[in-house]
Amino acid sequence: MKFGKELASQMVQEWQAAYVDYNQLKKLLKDLLRFRQNHALPSSPGPAARQRSLTRRLTMYRAFSGLTGLRGSPRKNEDEAILVSAVEQEGSDYRYQTMFLRSSEEGGEYELVFFRKLDEEFNKVVKFYKGKVEEVKKEAEQLSKQMDALIALRIRVDKPYVGVGHGFGPAEVRVAAPSGNSAPATVIASVNGVKQESSPFSIIVLFSNMKGGLHMDVIQEVEMSTEGNSVGEQASAEKNRKDSRSFRPASIDVLDHVKINVDPDTPVSTLRNVIKSSKSDPSFSKEELTKAEEKLRKAFVEFYQQLRLLKSYCFLNMLAFSKIMKKYDKITSRSASKSYLEMVDKSYLGTSDEVNKLIERLEATFIKHFANGNRRKGMKSLRPGHKKERHRTTFFLGLFTGCSIALVAAIIVSIHARNLLNHEGRGQYMDNIFPLYSLFGFIVLHMIMYGSNTYLWRRFRVNYPFIFGFKPGTELGFREVFLLASGLSVLALAAVLSNLDMEMDPRTQSFEALTELVPLGLVTVVLLITFCPFNIIYRSSRFFLLRCAWHCICAPLYKVTLSDFFLADQLTSQVQGFRSLQFYVCYYGWGDFKKRSNRCRESNVYEILYIVVAIIPFWSRALQCLRRLFEEKDTMQGLNCLKYFSTVVALVMRTIYDLRRGPFWKVMAASTSGITTIYSTYWDIVIDWGLLQRNARNPWLRDKLLISNKAVYFVAIVVNILLRLVWMQLVLDFNEAPFLHRRAMVAVVACLEILRRGIWNFFRLENEHFNNVGKYRAFKSVPLPFHYEDEKIM
């Protein structure tokens, strides 16, 4: 793989604008090479230059990684082509610039342009890296203060006799040494004659009575690894013991200046926070300590990933400068790379070691405080494994897809062979059985669209796992999504084929009960798999989906994340799917399924629920917008809420017209549907997709696009408008097609809405991706458990 593609594949996508523009530099070198070839300038070194080339190669191998730290000024001789200098600016920053000494030579203007662009890119990289290092240093200080509070809370919870306002006599501490490496040391402390045995985090506390309360003189944590058989682990344990001897955490009095926020984001906590502040004084309970540890553990893991990516950013950019200078030397037969790479080595990018030190400190702290000294366990938590592609996924995907195609063919043949389209029981089948199976068609189609989206997002390097907030390594790829869709389609199509009977038993004048219960059994199986607590069939993804769905149901009592409102938007396109579920309850609960008859439409309660079920997703989405409006103070969320409210009104009017008919309801349905269609279409294209910007770099689109073919975006805009208008034809009665039953027409319109949502998904996440890139948001914000009232303490 060429380095340009390797750089593109390994870079942090949200930081891509901050990386060296390697392709542009290569383009400038190609222009230089083309000029030299056209003018027959020498491009290969002579005998004298080969010796210099050999020396340069050896230097490059030592210097490209930035680890050797070359020092001293470069030798000045008659072969020198560039002079690199650092100009000090305000705030102790340096701006690096290169003076090309051979500009008078033929083609020198091309080289001059190259070095200007090279300096511009290098200064950009150094500035970004230095800014990010300063950010992580501040975040490290914050996490250090959080650890001080956590350790103090551990001491207070594990040793409740350490308090203020109480006097204690002499303390006796006895350490029971372990036998071998299999068990940690045991600390037995005797205070005022009361003996207590410590937890695995053994704490030796030496304290004394002082005027004004009890103070901590020394706090030392002694931890032994439960796994110390290997030489490396023994060395690590020895290092941890040395670190513990120099460890001096803050006084336990730090808890007097700390508020704690460990309540999970639940409806109860949200209602409590409306009444009072979300931060409260510590209660020193075990449950509170466990929640604080879990929150801080997540913050450490996220911070560690940030440090690793920052380290990778530094390495990849230094390697890119080395590669591009190597190409320059090869084209021009000069020895400029040595001088320039010495400057790179001496710059902040090459000499800064803060990230490596923070990584070492974080690993030691995490292993010590969250893995009980077990390095293997701690590093496994800090570095979660990457997701592996499994061949069996591809195999079963092909198998189920083939079975689905075969079942579709079998259904078509059966319908034509038995002439079921002209059968007298066709209307009864469409009114009672077709709505039951159409539910699975809606679900499978939505899954296919989502699987296609995941393929395209990965194809165009959209970091959708980060945007949605999936746990690393648990997100479903397109193969897994297609596998689930094909598996469900096989079950549904097999059920349809088994239930494709329109003849009653002439003796009982009813259909076979077991066959008529097939749809209900299939729904039951799908629900059981969805809520199954066992670790089968992508449990992590199923629970993530259920959690987001619960947040949508309980809106606005949960803090709204992108995954929550994204799922709510998907549910708004499944109105007919929810109505199918409602029909299941009515058909099997109050209908006569043996005779394929129901009186659902004759019930006023059913008609009311028919409206309520349809507006629930839109109402939930509107409440999410209201919560974001109050939290973020963003007026756009208020306008978005108004959009969903107008959709609710239009949906109610359209459903009443469908149930009642009449000219008045037709006018109301048409007018409200027209307004919300125009409103929603404009919002989709301009706000959610970020398109139709007149003064953009790409006229009437936006400045940045993932797809190079601009026609795709214009086609998507037209298709979105047309599919938005489709539901209007149901209102205006353009659906009287003789070859389609009304139920089938409703299902077709519902499928078209799902297709529109699938198209919307891609461009909506593309716009979100560019928003993250524009703001360099590559990490999610993890709430910390402790809040210092006075930031100046410690």
Q: What is the pLDDT of residues 615-660, one digit of tens each?
A: 999 999 999 999 999 988 889 999 999 999 999 999 898 888 877 7
C-alpha span between 491 and 488 (Å, rounded): 5
Per-residue pLDDT band at 247 (split at 50, 70, 90): very low
* C-beta neighbour count of 709 within 10 angstroms: 9
60 has pLDDT over 70 = no
Least confident of 250-254, 329-333, 732-736: 732-736
Per-residue pLDDT band at 152 (split at 50, 70, 90): confident
pLDDT tens profile 373-430: 889 888 888 887 666 777 899 999 999 999 999 999 999 999 999 888 888 888 889 9
Per-residue pLDDT band at 205 (split at 50, 70, 90): very low
Least confident of 225-229, 403-407, 442-446, 471-475: 225-229
Least confident of 217-231, 248-262, 468-482, 543-557: 217-231
C-alpha span between 681 and 49 (Å, rounded): 66
Question: 216: helix, coil or strand?
Answer: strand
C-alpha span between 292 and 295 (Å, rounded): 5
C-alpha span between 476 and 488 (Å, rounded): 16
% of the chain at pLDDT higher than 90? 41
Note whether 767 and 687 are within 8 A (CB): no
Report how far apart, in Å, the C-alpha atoms of 405 and of each of 140, 411, 483, 495 are.
56, 10, 14, 14
User: Could you tell me the maximum CA-CA distance found in the chain, to the nearest angstrom?
Assistant: 110
Q: Tell me the HSE value of 615 on the side-chain side, using a 13 A CA sphere.
A: 22
| pLDDT of 757 | 96
Looking at the DSSP bridge assignments, the partners of residue 188 are: 174, 197
The token pair that represents 637 in the structure block: 């969320």
Note whether 325 and 25 are within 8 A (CB): no
Least confident of 49-58, 65-74, 719-728: 65-74
* C-beta neighbour count of 219 within 10 angstroms: 20
Looking at the DSSP bridge assignments, the partners of residue 501 are: none
% of the chain at pLDDT higher than 70? 77
Per-residue pLDDT band at 729 (split at 50, 70, 90): low
Residues in Cβ contact with 537 at an 8 Å cutoff, skipping those fewer than 6 apart: 484, 529
Report how far apart, in Å, the C-alpha atoms of 236 and of each of 200, 367, 384, 548 are.
18, 10, 21, 41
Per-residue pLDDT band at 175 (split at 50, 70, 90): very low
H or E element that contains 618: helix 604-632
246 has pLDDT over 60 = no
| pLDDT of 450 | 97
Q: Which residue has the higher pLDDT, 133 or 43?
A: 133
C-alpha span between 635 and 62 (Å, rounded): 56
Note whether 620 and 560 are within 8 A (CB): no
pTM as predicted: 0.79
Work out the angle at residue 211's Cα, subtended by the Cα atoms of residues 210 and 215, and round it to the nearest 5 degrees.
40
Q: Which residue has the higher pLDDT, 503 or 16?
A: 16
* C-beta neighbour count of 123 within 10 angstroms: 16
| pLDDT of 779 | 73
Q: Which residue has the higher pLDDT, 199 or 265?
A: 265
Per-residue pLDDT band at 691 (split at 50, 70, 90): very high
| pLDDT of 289 | 86
Least confident of 74-88, 366-380, 582-596, 756-770: 74-88
Least confident of 53-67, 294-308, 595-609, 779-793: 53-67
The token pair that represents 104 in the structure block: 């008078």
Note whether 418 and 452 are within 8 A (CB): no
Burial 295-307 (b: 16+ CB within 10 A, else e): bbbebbbebbbbb
C-alpha span between 786 and 144 (Å, rounded): 11
The token pair that represents 57 in the structure block: 């190669």
Note whether 97 and 64 are within 8 A (CB): no
190 has pLDDT over 70 = no
C-alpha span between 355 and 307 (Å, rounded): 6
C-alpha span between 576 and 651 (Å, rounded): 12
C-alpha span between 739 and 742 (Å, rounded): 10
484 has pLDDT over 90 = yes
| pLDDT of 188 | 44
Work out the angle at residue 106's Cα, subtended by the Cα atoms of residues 101 and 107, and round it to the nearest 5 degrees.
85
Report how far apart, in Å, the C-alpha atoms of 337 and of each of 84, 319, 501, 627, 728 are.
11, 12, 79, 56, 67
Least confident of 103-107, 652-656, 694-698: 103-107
| pLDDT of 136 | 92
H or E element that contains 22: helix 22-38
The alpha carbon dihedral of 278, 284, 287, 291 has a sign of positive
- As a whole number, the mean pLDDT across the chain is 80
Integer Rg of the chain from CA = 34
Report how far apart, in Å, the C-alpha atoms of 110 and of each of 4, 32, 50, 96, 329 are.
21, 6, 24, 20, 14
* C-beta neighbour count of 597 within 10 angstroms: 12
Note whether 510 and 594 are within 8 A (CB): yes
Work out the angle at residue 343's Cα, subtended by the Cα atoms of residues 125 and 107, and round it to the nearest 5 degrees.
85
Cα–Cα nearest to 475, from 462, 487, 488, 486:
462
| pLDDT of 245 | 44
- E strands in 211-345: 213-222, 258-260
C-alpha span between 349 and 138 (Å, rounded): 19
| Cis peptide upstream of residue 184 (ω within 30 degrees of 0) | no
107 has pLDDT over 90 = no
